[in-house]
Structure 1
Amino acid sequence: MSRGDLPDAQWERLEPLLPPMPKMGRPPRDRRQVFDGIWWRARTGSPWRDVPERYGPWETAYTVFRRWQIDGTWPRILKKLQVKVDSDGIIEWEGGVGRLDRLPGSSACCWGPQKGADDPGRTRTDGLAAEPDDHGLGRSRGGLTTKIHLAVDASSHVLAAVITAGQRGDAPVFEQVMERIRIPRPGGGHPRTRPDRVLADRAYSSRQIRSYLRRRQIPHTIPEKRDQAGHRLRRGSAGGRPPGFDREAYKRRHKVECRIGLLKQARGVATRYDKLAVRYEATVQLALIRQTL
């Protein structure tokens, strides 16, 4: 076993969740070997053609990664792992579970791909139904960049992730991230969609976000922007009371930054090499699967 490959204990937890290998006109390869090859590429950020021979043909690793992205296998595996983690009581829904924040440094930008990245020598058009028109790329001070918006619980488990272009603001994506929090319950019934509390920084201090959280009856701890506080004070009694802010609860928001640091240890996440946004999202989901294991 090479450095970075799945240990036996993690493979025992992952193997029952994996679907059969897709039929490709040749004898099916060992799923563990293929998964380790896919993870090696995401961990190192190397081109698919550089996947070491010990993981089998690089074409097999890329084909399996691509097909499981198209049929939704990667998010299904991640969802099943989240259900297991929640049933074991590891996900902390108490005391500031909903951590939604932007990535650090230039608003979480990951460098965009070079021309021709992702599909090695291929021009496929299938599996692009969910592909955004801008491919999740936007022009910012750092060039073409991509943003990852995360919702993290108090135990540093990622509950939801949204990929957008790098120049997109954080606040407009808040509701989309919150709506993606859906953790099914092992015994059936409605999935868990509402955290006990949301902590976020000043980028999410807006009347619309606070109204959205009150409407869903979710307590929140979000500091008020200075210009908003000044505008409220200038209006006098018409400005209303300042929003409540718990400094002690806000200190727990650092776990979001810790999770982001762990996520960006995978070079395929920290630097976007995938041409398509749906492929890059699958790479992020793969990194979350490995870290959840």
Structure 2
Amino acid sequence: MSRGDLTDTQWERLEPLLPPIPKMGRPPRDRRQVFDGIWWRARTGSPWRDVPERYGPWETAYTVFRRWQIDGTWAGILKKLQVKADADGVIEWEVSVDSTVCRAHQHAAGARKKGGDPGRTRPDGLAAEPDDHGLGRSRGGLTTKIHLAVDASFHVLAAVITAGQRGDAPMFKQVMDRIRVPRPGGGHPRTRPAHVLADRAYSSRAIRSYLRRRQIPHTIPEKRDQAGHRQRRGSAGGRPPGFDRETYKRRHKVECRIGLLKQARGVATRYDKLAVRYEATVQLTLIRQTL
């Protein structure tokens, strides 16, 4: 076992969740070997062709990674781990929302704008591969943004990939809609947090109204310009939104989780051309860190 590979205990947790290796005209590879090879690439950020020979042919690792992205295997494994954690009472439903910008390598550019690549589809029906492939251009070059919803026990309940220049507030509802943890005994999945924490980037009338409609308590500081505009309007401006500074301090957990996620170099720097592939790399990293 090499550094970063699964331990026997971790493999015992993961093995029942993995599907068989797809048939590719040759004897099937050991699933543990293939998973470790895929994770080695995500952990180091190296090209697929540089995957060490001890993990088998690099073509097998890439093909399995791609096929499991297309059929939703990575998302399904992550969902099963969330269900197990919620059933064990590990997930704490105080959710913090934030985003992080990741630099995109030049190898991430160049994907076709339109075409029939099966990687452009999503089996869950939530979204297809965006036309911009989740790449934005700024002074620093190509960037991608990851929007996260993290609970108080550092479980990532939702992740959305967008271009780096996209704002945080417009993506808030989509991030919240991605929170769906099925219940082991059946019934409707849990989608409503007990509390939401977010920074000033999410201070908007639309977001506060959305949370009130869903009866979700929240702690979001008010922007200075919004507070000044409200005060200038006098009584017509309404009351200031409630804000508990001590509760807001717990929002640091999403910042810590972002730092942990970026320990995988394949996440900290994007090398995947397609947004759905990069999303699968994020899901793989979350699976490995959960184990």
Please, what TM-score do these two structures have when normalized by structure 1? Answer: 0.89
Contact persistence 1:198–1:218 (CA under 8 A): yes
Q: CA deviation at 1:142?
A: 1.5
Distance 1:28 1:127, change over 3 A: farther
Q: Deviations over 1:28-50 (max 9, x none)?
A: 00000000000000000000000
Distance 1:27 1:116, change over 3 A: farther
Q: How does 1:1-293 map to 2 (within 5 A)?
A: 1-93=1-93, 130-293=128-291
SS in 1 for 2:158: strand
Q: Deviations over 1:51-75 (max 9, x none)?
A: 0000000000000000000011000
Contact persistence 1:269–1:284 (CA under 8 A): yes
Q: Deviations over 1:138-162 (max 9, x none)?
A: 1122111000000000101100000
Q: CA deviation at 1:3?
A: 0.2
Q: Which 5+ residue runs of structure 2 have no aligned equivalent?
A: 95-109
Contact persistence 1:113–1:274 (CA under 8 A): no
For 1:122 and 1:217, locate their aligned partners in 2 and report how far apart those are by CA, in whole Å.
Answer: 35
Contact persistence 2:219–2:243 (CA under 8 A): yes
Contact persistence 2:121–2:128 (CA under 8 A): no
Contact persistence 1:42–1:287 (CA under 8 A): yes
Q: CA deviation at 1:126?
A: 16
Q: CA deviation at 1:164?
A: 0.2
Contact persistence 2:120–2:274 (CA under 8 A): no
Please, what TM-score do these two structures have when normalized by structure 2? Answer: 0.89
Q: CA deviation at 1:240?
A: 0.6
Distance 1:117 1:38, change over 3 A: farther
Contact persistence 1:22–1:64 (CA under 8 A): yes
Q: Deviations over 1:219-241 (max 9, x none)?
A: 00000000000000111111110
Count residues in correspondence: 276
For 1:160 and 1:15, locate their aligned partners in 2 and report how far apart those are by CA, in whole Å.
Answer: 23
Q: Deviations over 1:2-50 (max 9, x none)?
A: 0000111111000000001100000000000000000000000000000
Distance 1:261 1:153, change over 3 A: same
Distance 1:276 1:260, change over 3 A: same
Contact persistence 1:42–1:266 (CA under 8 A): yes
Q: Which 5+ residue runs of structure 1 have no aligned equivalent?
A: 95-111
Contact persistence 1:85–1:91 (CA under 8 A): yes
For 2:151 and 2:8, locate their aligned partners in 1 and report how far apart those are by CA, in whole Å.
Answer: 27
Contact persistence 2:168–2:201 (CA under 8 A): yes
Contact persistence 1:118–1:279 (CA under 8 A): no
Q: CA deviation at 1:292?
A: 1.1
**Identity among equivalent pairs (%):** 91
Q: Deviations over 1:75-116 (max 9, x none)?
A: 00000000001111110125xxxxxxxxxxxxxxxxx99999
For 1:37 and 1:122, locate their aligned partners in 2 and report how far apart those are by CA, in whole Å.
Answer: 24
Contact persistence 2:120–2:276 (CA under 8 A): no
Distance 1:150 1:113, change over 3 A: farther
Distance 1:257 1:207, change over 3 A: same
